[in-house]
Structure 1
Amino acid sequence: MRPVYDYVIVGAGAAGCVLANRLSEDPKVSVCLIEAGGSDRHPYVTMPRGVAKIMRMPSFVYFFKTNPEPRTAMRQDYWVRGKMLGGSTSVNGMVWVKGQPADFEALAAQAGTQWGWSSFARAYEAIEGHELGAAPGRGGKGPLRISISPERNALTKAMNAAGAKMGWRFKEDVNEPDDGVGIGYMPRSIWKGRRQSAAVAFLRPAMKRPNLTVITGATTDRVLFEGKRAVGVEFLKDGARQQVDAKQEVLICAGAVASPAILERSGVGDPALLASLDIPLVHAQPAVGEGTSEHRCMRMQWRLSKPVSFNLKYRGLPLIASVLRYYLLRDGPMSGSSMEMRTAFKSRQDIETADIQVQLGLYSWDLTKPSSELERQHGFSTIAYGMVPSSRGSIHITSRDPGEQPAIVANYYATDYDREVILSCARQMREWAAQQPLAELIASETTPGPAAQTDAELLESIDQLGVAGLHTVGSCRMGTDETSVVDPDLRVRGVEGLRVIDASVFPVIPAGNTQAPVIALGWLASEIIHGRG
């Protein structure tokens, strides 16, 4: 006889951990959480700068490969996702960017009024235990602890001063709910030197409850249906197929790459694709896997004339000293997030909100080597992109085997709009670097470098050296229209007892990163489930 639970949650990532916590608060409700990965208790996960190591370990991350295309110089791009409790919140760069009010008002226009800024602001106020305390749209006493990067040196001060000359107001909190324009120190899901993942903040406290069952090392194959009602989940664990039943609902929280694949293997998708793989059709939904959106980031780097970067702190004896300091004091270079600062600004002055984000790191990469290695000279780096790209791609399975990777068409920079935004970004960043006192610290621009001046040359740099932002959305789009995959209550259209709750439901990327919006999505989804079942 199969185990039976009220709710079966697939995926212990940002939203899945929140849902497991919130739904299991009711002792009369039984919850099963299924995760393909294992435990998150690894020193490289706990130590924030361990991200550089953990992101190269196949036992803890998926390396999803995109199809080669011109915007990746005909090479495969890598969309890395976490494979452990906490999902990608256990392996990401820990930056905490929440999106602007205008993003969520745009979401409400497409997906229903309950998804506007007032709802997300209320969720953030409940979720965050922020170092800066409570404020509108910010929480001071929530379970997820947020701190501000403490790094203050000649370089960070010069960056802020140069930003002021560009009209980018210094912000104590770069997530202030305004038009988004500004510069400041990066908020981080780090507290007292430790990563604060969704597993740490939400799942671990809930795992003490007897009504929550967590199954790890279990790769979900498909949702089980009786007619058009979801009644359970089939997964592979230790080489054997197992099944669990859901009395109320199945909640898919597997992420924007895996969730559409699970739907397709379950018989919900484009009929022609499913027929080609001999998958019985449960419900025809051609939008599954379509409408995918992802950032392709432009790298810009500068060589410094003074020793004010972190490059030498992450090699040789200084690295050993930094690691020892971390384990003794829980601070120092190994306790920081992937990026220390953030700026956002407009590609054109006639638009209402910032549409460009640049994350600033106090180190620089040696891009002449295939491995991730810092330069031996002092430098700093930036990761830049248009926050809300208009180009759309797709994600579809090519096999019934859940171990096979899907086909991912990124379709980066396919629109004139996306190309115009990133070119504006590059030119404004060069103008920023020319401002004093930052200019006097800079010896030269190394990436793309002074040889890249024309639009074509700058775009070529993105093709050759760009990286995926790892903020995929849209593959199970939410909307009020009948062609959307899920409705405003996150229910999969055309079937019963099944919802998708993760980044895949966002029609567009909330301006910036996706960790914070997806955690807030999970929080709000739990309210919908509690209130409407």
Structure 2
Amino acid sequence: MKRFDYIIVGAGSAGCVLANRLSEDGRYRVLLLETGGSDRSIFIQMPTALSIPMNTKKYAWQFETEPEPHLDGRRMHCPRGKVLGGSSSINGMVYVRGHAGDFDEWQQAGAEGWDYAHCLPYFKRAEQWAFGGDEYRGNEGPLGVNNGNQMQNPLYQAFVDAGVEAGYDATADYNGRQQEGFGPMHMTVKQGVRSSSANAYLRPAMARANLTVQTGALVHKVLLEGKRAVGVRFERAGKMEEVRADKEVILSAGPIGSPHLLQLSGIGNPDTLKQAGIGVLHPLPGVGENLQDHLEFYFQFRCQQPITLNGKLGLWDKFLIGSRWLLRKDGLGATNHFESCGFIRSKAGVPWPDLQYHFLPAAMRYDGREAFAGHGFQVHIGHNKPRSRGQVTVRSADPREAPAIRFNYLSHPDDVEGFRACVRLTREIIGQPALDAYRGEEIQPGASVQSDEQIDAFVRSAVESAYHPSCSCKMGTDALAVVDPQTRVHGLQGLRVVDSSIFPTIPNGNLNAPTLMVAERAADLILGKTPLAALPAEVGLAEYWQEKQRPRAPVRALA
């Protein structure tokens, strides 16, 4: 049996960070196992091609949920990366840390040491911000972060201006002091290429003699001796292999894969394991519970000027965009096209933003297909602090059988109310003078959707996952916590979970940035290093949050 000091399961956003940091000083033998294969594809590396790997079986687990009872029984698409870089190689590359309050919320939930002041230095350590470092931003890290094409399309700035006219603030850097407001959006792109966890962290480390990376490896279970994890069993090229960890096994298989693998290993809720025919080796009722995700829908409008990306969807235009990117790594091929955004609060009494906007100067679906003939634009909007909770549940002892996934979307009335606010507040923003020269007919939801009942019916039929599953192996100390604040699985030795599954609650934003931060900090904890000192930076929190939903009255009231 081959022996390593650390075995990492999953070469995704977190796993690549850990592989780099744990092998950095050369003292430890590190094995990184990944079921998928190489990320050397133009469709992964070219930012504008983001819809392709997400919808390709070669690069992503194409999971589907169980019928969601509050979404008209629909099964929701839940892709997860199956390639070096994991979901950072198939995602939309949007870089949002979340609000400072999200991480203070983690600490209040029992994740001691994971408040914003202790997380901020690890956000900074990870990133290389294109516009230089400051109190909030890092400029020496491996992860490239920029603003794509600097909002060259006039629709981007028009959306920001409309937000200000609607009574909200402008924010120059939502990852800095103040998240709330409208401004440029950031993306994980470096020199025109996707800055995935594989590109940023893994590839520079792969030449190290003490790091072994094995692709095509399907892990069947964690091997336990009593209450200690001693290795893993995996299948590769049709053969079963076992490897031993002299120090620790670390699961970084993601919010679906990590709880599923724990359950396959006999770790979880005893009733769940028995129903799947799996022996109970370590009862831990929270495994797979507390599952959370963001939902969103597209607010789509026709555009009165021929300046949108809908005019660039022909084969010749795609060829020109791709050719320019191959030769120069710039132009429309070098951006994810989400270059402006907004973060607002859904109502007075909400202390920090719970709604997020991604603006796109096109009207199209996530799979890249046109929404309608002609020019259009859309804004993705979602309620980002859901109270609905779901589960990931093993079905059988066969690791190839996908687990049952149920988010229970919109099962909490606060989430339903949040989406009503999404519809009404967005119409007010899009209706401001800044967009008068561009705004045409409202295609979706459509002007006839007005009452609570009509909005609720539209949302049930139209919302999609924002692809942010998380929280299914939550960190904390309560009865449903799976890992402690050191990321160690409760009640076991030599076993940790490090990925977005350990978030206690979901942040207000996309999840790649906080996942990388978690892995950066966890690496120090695993190595026994003193964590980086807290940075008590000032946080922009609206003084009026209890009384007002926004600071000023809109220029034009909602009709």
The normalised TM-score by structure 2 is 0.92
Aligned to 2:329: 330
Aligned to 1:514: 511
Closer, same or farther: CA 393–528 of 1 in aligned 2, 3 Å: same
Q: Any idea what the Cα deviations from partners look like across 1:397-418, whole Å, max 9, x if unmatched? A: 1011111111011111111111
In the alignment, the residues of structure 2 paired with residue 471 and residue 366 of structure 1 have an alpha-carbon distance, to the nearest angstrom, of 17
Aligned to 1:82: 81
Q: Any idea what the Cα deviations from partners look like across 1:413-439, whole Å, max 9, x if unmatched? A: 111111111111211100011100213
In the alignment, the residues of structure 2 paired with residue 375 and residue 48 of structure 1 have an alpha-carbon distance, to the nearest angstrom, of 23
Question: How many angstroms does 1:348 deviate by?
Answer: 0.9
1:8 aligned partner, one-letter code? I
Aligned to 2:397: 400
Aligned to 1:95: 94
Closer, same or farther: CA 16–338 of 1 in aligned 2, 3 Å: farther
Matched, 1:122 2:121: yes
Q: Any idea what the Cα deviations from partners look like across 1:237-272, whole Å, max 9, x if unmatched? A: 112211110001000000000100000010101112
Matched, 1:455 2:452: yes
2:395 aligned partner, one-letter code? T
Matches of residues 78-477 of structure 1 in structure 2 within 5 Å?
Answer: 78-149=77-148, 150-178=150-178, 180-365=179-364, 372-477=369-474
Please point out which of 490, 495, 507 is paired with 2:487: 490
Bigger mean CA offset, 329-338 vs 518-527? 329-338
1:438 aligned partner, one-letter code? L
2:177 aligned partner, one-letter code? P
Bigger mean CA offset, 388-397 vs 136-145? 136-145
Q: Is the 8 A contact 1:271 1:286 kept in 2?
A: yes
Q: Is the 8 A contact 1:312 1:376 kept in 2?
A: no
In the alignment, the residues of structure 2 paired with residue 69 and residue 112 of structure 1 have an alpha-carbon distance, to the nearest angstrom, of 30
1:175 aligned partner, one-letter code? N
Question: How many angstroms does 1:482 deviate by?
Answer: 4.3
Q: Is the 8 A contact 1:121 1:136 kept in 2?
A: no
Closer, same or farther: CA 489–366 of 1 in aligned 2, 3 Å: closer
Bigger mean CA offset, 497-506 vs 456-465? 456-465
Question: How many angstroms does 1:172 deviate by?
Answer: 2.5
Q: Any idea what the Cα deviations from partners look like across 1:83-125, whole Å, max 9, x if unmatched? A: 1110000010000000111111111111333101112110011
Q: Any idea what the Cα deviations from partners look like across 1:479-523, whole Å, max 9, x if unmatched? A: 122431111111111211100001111121111110000000000
In the alignment, the residues of structure 2 paired with residue 271 and residue 172 of structure 1 have an alpha-carbon distance, to the nearest angstrom, of 50
Question: How many angstroms does 1:338 deviate by?
Answer: 5.0
The normalised TM-score by structure 1 is 0.96
Bigger mean CA offset, 169-178 vs 117-126? 169-178
How many residues are paired up? 529
Q: Any idea what the Cα deviations from partners look like across 1:465-486, whole Å, max 9, x if unmatched? A: 2211111111101112243111
Question: How many angstroms does 1:53 deviate by?
Answer: 1.7
Closer, same or farther: CA 202–371 of 1 in aligned 2, 3 Å: closer
2:27 aligned partner, one-letter code? K
Structure 1 segments unaligned to the other structure (5+ residues): none
Aligned to 2:71: 72
In the alignment, the residues of structure 1 paired with residue 177 and residue 235 of structure 2 have an alpha-carbon distance, to the nearest angstrom, of 44
Structure 2 segments unaligned to the other structure (5+ residues): 531-559
Identity of aligned residues (%): 37
Closer, same or farther: CA 77–16 of 1 in aligned 2, 3 Å: same
Q: Is the 8 A contact 2:51 2:368 kept in 1?
A: no
In the alignment, the residues of structure 2 paired with residue 220 and residue 146 of structure 1 have an alpha-carbon distance, to the nearest angstrom, of 33
Q: Is the 8 A contact 1:299 1:462 kept in 2?
A: no
Closer, same or farther: CA 351–7 of 1 in aligned 2, 3 Å: same
Matched, 1:526 2:523: yes
